[in-house]
Each structure stands twice: as structure tokens, then as C-alpha cells.
């Protein structure tokens, strides 16, 4: 039978555990590809945890985007979506970001223009390694860089034993129903013909020194959780009230001292950590020196600092050069070089540099 070099997963498989990946690794699996997104409307919420668990199991990790575009503009918008989701899922520059192209075949000319636009935009967004996945019957309808072993092709023969389809491409997905002990359901598996999906052969083993904890020494007003946050009845953190997930926004009533460190007290009297690893101020500081931000889910540009008069809408992944951070009430705005304004909320426009 063909080898089990790589497995691809999606929300249909659920969250993959470390034990799941270790079970697969025993059968020769070396890499995984997780679904990241589809069109401009769907983010696979299982990707981040499944990728993290695959790394813990010792697999190389990659991601794919299911294409729905039919135009160059649509391809670029979906590329931004894919790159944004790849970043949020924890994929680094050594990961392959794959275009899953199997929904609409518009013929060589239009397919080529759209695919090349998608690849160029993904690379512009910071991911240099890309590939195209499609079915065997479509290989002559799009550019797959065959001479460079590009392309990952699906074809499911009834009896794949002894076969070696698409050896001039990077890989052959030969079944979608492979079962592994301890894993639920059937999986797509592939035999790979190059090391492209396996990442760098050099592995750094240097042990990193833990960073010293840094606590806020002032009240930042509005903050958001970077990690799960517990609320306590006391500033000694002995009596837990409840816990809140990352991304939760809190309004800080005041900063209180606790020994050599600080805590945040909320309006209801409960306490939470002020450790900057766990929480971060929601709005950029006017003295923070931010030079560039990136839209997280898409951003309105406004004509006025109050953000009452919309100029236009910029898609997710758009990078903005910052002219100034301007105070507005208890929040801040980012002023752009053209005189327009965008929100200074970090969850809307994330920090680049």
C-alpha cells in the first residue's frame, strides 16, 4: 500500500489530541495539514488546537484554505483570509499554506490568473511556502509548477496497492477513509514525493530562558485577556470566583499593590492579575511608538476622530502605516497618513511593529 506520510484534517474530524497524532505517527505519519478557512466567511475553529497538539507529538504542521473565489479580487481577499487564519492558528513561515482548489473550474486562463493572484498575496502576507491541491481530473486546468514538483493531487483508486500515482508532483492523496487506532472516523492520507511539507531539517534545541514577569504599574483602563483569566475575591488570590477565556475584555477600576507586584481591581470588587503576559491594554498608547498595524477582521476608515463618518472598508489583513495615536475620551484612534482615522482597539487592528 502507499505510504501514510501526511494526514489532513478539518472540523469534520474534530479537535485532534496529542494521543491521536502519536497514534498516527506510529504508522509513519510525518506531517499534517489543517483546514484554516473557506472563502471569506469561514474560519475552522479546530485548527489552532489540532496544530498545537501535532507539534507536541513531533509532526510538521501546515494549513489549507478551501477556495470559493472566481475573480482575481476574490482570490486576493481569500488569500488575506487564509494568511490571517494561518497566523492565528500558530503557523510559522516554514509551514506550507495550501490552496484547496476543487469548487469551480473556469478553464486554464481564468484559473491561472486567480491562483497566481492568491499565491502572490499569501506570500505578500508573510508566508513564502505555498502549494495547490486539486483532483486528478483538473491537473491540466491550472498551473501546478509540475517541473518543480509542485502540486498535491487527489485520486482514490479502488485498489491502491503497488501504485505510485502523480510521482512528478509533491504528493498524492490516495484515500479519504483511512482509520487509525484511537482516532474517530476516516482520514485523508497522502504519500509525499518531496520533503516540502516537512519543514526545515535543522531543529534548534537551545533551551530558552523564561522571561521575567512584568506587571502593570499604572491603570490602563480597558484591558483584554491574553490567556484564561481567573477572578478572585481577594488580592492574595486565595479565593477563586470564576474564570474567563482569552479575549475577554475587562474594565479596571484601580491598580492595587500586593507586595512587590500589583493586581487589578474591577468595579465589582474582584481582583485579576496585572501580569502583562496574561492581560494587555485594549487601546494603543499615545506614547507607545506603534508604527504599523494590521486589520484583524476588516476595518472601517473614518473621516473624523469620533469615528462617525465612514470613508470606506478595508479587508482583513490590510496593513496600515501609523502617523499618530490620538486620544479620544477613554480610548484612542490611529491617524493615517491620508488624514483618515481607524480604531485604536488592538483586537480590531493588531500590532505589527
Q: Would you tell me the crossing angle of helices 108-124 and 72-88 to the nearest 10 degrees?
A: 40
Per-residue model confidence (pLDDT) at position 192: 95
Parallel, antiparallel or unpaired: strands 310-314 and 279-281: unpaired
Query: CA-CA distance, 215 to 312, in Å (whole number)?
Result: 38
Helix, strand or coil for residue 22?
helix
Helix, strand or coil for residue 12?
helix
Q: What proportion of the chain, given as a percentage, has pLDDT over 70?
A: 95
Burial letters 155-164, b for 16+ CB under 10 A, else e: beeeebeeee
- Cβ proximity of 289 and 52 under 8 Å: no
Query: CA-CA distance, 63 to 176, in Å (whole number)?
Result: 17
- The one-character DSSP state at 283 is B
Q: Which of 52-66, 144-158, 176-190, 214-228 has the lowest mean pLDDT?
A: 144-158
The Cβ of residue 241 has, within 10 Å, a number of other Cβ atoms equal to: 14
Report the length, in residues, of the chain.
353
Q: Is the pLDDT confidence value at 147 over 70?
A: no
Q: Is the pLDDT confidence value at 199 over 90?
A: no
The stretch 156-176 carries a mean pLDDT of: 94
Q: Would you tell me the crossing angle of helices 47-56 and 18-25 to the nearest 10 degrees?
A: 50
Give the residue from 297, 302, 307, 286 showing the smallest Cα distance to 336: 302
pLDDT category at 142 given cuts 50, 70, 90 is confident
Per-residue model confidence (pLDDT) at position 202: 32
pTM as predicted: 0.58
Q: Which of 44-58, 138-152, 281-295, 297-311 has the lowest mean pLDDT?
A: 138-152
Helix, strand or coil for residue 41?
coil
Q: Is the pLDDT confidence value at 108 over 50?
A: yes
Query: CA-CA distance, 240 to 272, in Å (whole number)?
Result: 10
Alpha carbon dihedral 97, 131, 102, 134, in 10-degree steps, equals -140
pLDDT category at 208 given cuts 50, 70, 90 is very low
Q: H-type helices in the chain, by residue range?
A: 18-25, 47-56, 72-88, 108-124
- Cβ proximity of 257 and 279 under 8 Å: no
Q: Is the pLDDT confidence value at 292 over 80?
A: yes
Q: Is the pLDDT confidence value at 211 over 80?
A: no
The stretch 174-179 carries a mean pLDDT of: 95
Amino acid at each position: 500500500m502507499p505510504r501514510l506520510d501526511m494526514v489532513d484534517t478539518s472540523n469534520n474530524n474534530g479537535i485532534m489530541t496529542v494521543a491521536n497524532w502519536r497514534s498516527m505517527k506510529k504508522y509513519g505519519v510525518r506531517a499534517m495539514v489543517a483546514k484554516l478557512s473557506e472563502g471569506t466567511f469561514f474560519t475552522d475553529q479546530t485548527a489552532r488546537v489540532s496544530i498545537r497538539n501535532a507539534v507536541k507529538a513531533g509532526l510538521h504542521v501546515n494549513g489549507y484554505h478551501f477556495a470559493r473565489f472566481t475573480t482575481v479580487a476574490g482570490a486576493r481577499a481569500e488569500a488575506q483570509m487564509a494568511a490571517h487564519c494561518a497566523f492565528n492558528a500558530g503557523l510559522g513561515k516554514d509551514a506550507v499554506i495550501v490552496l484547496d482548489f476543487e469548487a469551480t473550474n473556469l478553464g486554464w486562463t481564468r484559473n491561472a490568473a486567480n491562483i497566481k493572484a492568491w499565491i502572490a498575496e499569501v506570500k505578500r502576507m508573510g508566508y513564502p511556502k505555498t502549494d495547490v491541491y486539486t483532483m486528478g481530473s483538473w491537473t491540466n486546468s491550472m498551473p501546478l509548477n509540475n517541473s518543480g514538483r509542485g502540486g498535491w493531487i487527489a485520486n482514490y483508486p479502488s485498489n491502491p496497492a503497488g501504485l505510485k500515482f502523480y510521482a512528478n508532483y509533491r504528493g498524492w492523496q490516495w484515500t479519504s477513509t483511512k482509520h487509525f487506532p484511537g482516532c474517530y472516523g476516516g482520514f485523508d492520507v497522502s504519500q509525499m514525493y518531496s520533503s516540502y511539507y516537512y519543514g526545515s531539517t535543522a531543529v534548534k534545541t537551545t533551551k530558552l530562558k523564561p522571561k521575567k514577569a512584568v506587571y502593570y504599574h499604572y491603570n490602563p483602563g480597558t484591558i483584554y485577556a491574553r490567556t484564561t483569566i481567573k477572578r478572585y475575591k481577594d488580592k492574595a488570590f486565595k479565593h477563586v470566583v470564576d474564570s474567563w477565556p482569552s479575549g475577554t475584555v475587562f474594565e479596571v477600576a484601580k491598580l492595587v499593590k500586593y507586595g512587590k507586584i500589583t493586581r487589578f481591581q474591577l468595579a465589582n470588587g474582584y481582583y485579576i492579575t496585572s501580569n502583562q503576559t496574561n492581560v494587555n491594554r485594549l487601546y494603543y498608547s499615545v506614547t507607545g511608538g506603534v508604527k504599523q498595524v494590521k486589520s484583524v477582521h476588516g476595518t472601517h476608515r473614518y473621516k473624523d476622530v469620533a469615528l462617525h463618518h465612514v470613508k470606506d472598508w478595508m479587508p482583513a489583513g490590510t496593513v496600515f502605516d501609523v502617523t499618530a495615536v490620538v486620544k479620544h475620551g477613554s480610548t484612542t484612534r490611529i491617524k493615517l497618513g491620508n488624514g483618515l482615522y481607524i480604531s485604536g482597539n488592538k483586537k480590531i487592528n493588531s500590532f505589527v511593529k
